[in-house]
Amino acid sequence: MGDGKGDGMVLHIRIAGIKAAAPTFHEQAKNLSTALTALVTTLDGLGKPWGDDKQGKEFGDVYSPQQKKIESSAGILVLGLTSIHEALVDLSDGHVDNDDLIAGMFTKVKTPKDGADSEGSR
């Protein structure tokens, strides 16, 4: 840092890249939500489909106590993916607005030829 070898830019934000990535998070949130709903409704409808054999009992002994935590964790992931999508959209919109604001700060202000300010000072 501070060695003068960089281009002076701290962030290399590519708005097109952000806008292109945002829908992926939205789609994956929908896909995970659909999978979670299918898991919950199917298992609830089937009861304990893993059976009563040794392997089924071993699975059930491990899975059943953790089932609600697994479902809750997947729900949190859905919310997280949705939040990332919304944040990327907001970030890209805010970055464009900020660029426009900064550009406006450096736009030449037109003043009256006689040097009076906009209030009409004399």
- What are the structural domains of the chain? 15-96 (1.10.287)
Q: Which residues contact 43 (CB under 8 A, 6 or more apart)?
A: 49, 67
Question: Residue 75's closest CA among 37, 113, 45?
Answer: 37
Q: How high is the pLDDT of residue 13?
A: 67
Which one, of 74, 75, 42, lies nearest residue 50 by Cα? Answer: 42
Long-range contacts (CB closer than 8 Å, 24 or more residues apart) made by 37-43? 39/71, 39/74, 40/71, 43/67
The pLDDT, as a whole number, for residue 1 is 42
pTM comes to 0.58
Residue 85's contacts (CB-CB under 8 Å, 6 or more residues apart) are 22, 23, 25, 26, 29
Per-residue pLDDT of the chain (122 residues; tens, 9 = 90+): 445 455 555 456 677 788 888 899 999 999 999 999 998 898 888 888 888 899 999 999 998 899 889 999 999 999 999 999 998 888 877 655 555 666 666 666 666 765 555 555 44
Place of tokens 């426009």: 100
